[in-house]
Amino acid sequence: MQVKIIRSPRRSRSVSARVEGDTFVVRAPALIAEAELQAIVERLKERWLQRRRRDDLDDEALERRARQLNRQYFAGQLRWQSIRWVSNQAGRWGSCTPTEGTIRLSCRLAALPTFVRDYVLMHELAHLLEANHSPRFWALVNRFEKSERARGYLMALGLEAIEADPQ
């Protein structure tokens, strides 16, 4: 995406940005230092990209993927009320409330590889049968052939607890 910077002597502090067509238009004070402005532009672009990724997430596609994983790994026995993407989970990748049959996945997963998203979804689906992290729960999660790889990926990011699977 092309970036267009418009400096204005009327602006004293604020920097704003918006997308116009295929251009990221940034309005900034005339006297702001170039290095400072570039750092701000990068942060604004990243926030815009995160928002766009979040907006592109499709709950229906997530539901379809959950049904596929249910058929493949749980013989179609799982039932739930809703599965959706959410933007309010800063400290976790997903959550499941088995008593209500609800699963929520963090929109932060959008930036991660598909096998990692599938692993997190498998983890939450397994909670519909086992509402804990017992050996029986991990046996369900580990049916997913890339579970160890996905846990390693999350550990490398520093986002998965080391004690996640008591193998």
CATH code (residue 130): 3.30.2010.10
Co-location of 38 and 96 in the same domain? no
User: What CA–CA distance (Å, rounded) separates 66 from 70?
Assistant: 6
DSSP-assigned letters across all residues of 26-66: EEEETTS-HHHHHHHHHHHHHHHHHHHHHHH--HHHHHHHH
Expressed as residue numbers, the domain containing 17 is 2-56
Q: How far is CA 29 from each of CA 8, 43, 55, 139, rounded to the nearest angstrom?
A: 5, 17, 30, 58
Domain boundary among 10, 29, 56: 56
Q: Provide the domain count of the chain.
A: 2
Same structural domain, 38 and 71:
no
Residues 144 and 66 in one domain: yes
End of a domain among 15, 38, 56? 56
Residue with token string 């008593």 = 99
Q: Same domain for 140 and 86?
A: yes
Degrees to nearest 5, angle at CA 16 with 89 and 6: 150
131 and 88 housed in the same domain: yes
Can you give the pLDDT of all 167 residues of the chain as single tens digits? Answer: 799 999 999 998 899 999 898 899 999 999 999 999 999 999 998 888 777 766 668 899 999 999 999 999 999 999 999 999 998 887 889 999 999 999 999 988 887 889 999 999 999 999 999 999 999 999 999 999 999 999 999 888 875 544 444 44
Q: What is the pLDDT of residue 4?
A: 94
Q: Which two tokens stand for residue 46?
A: 């990243």
67 plus 41 within the same structural domain: no
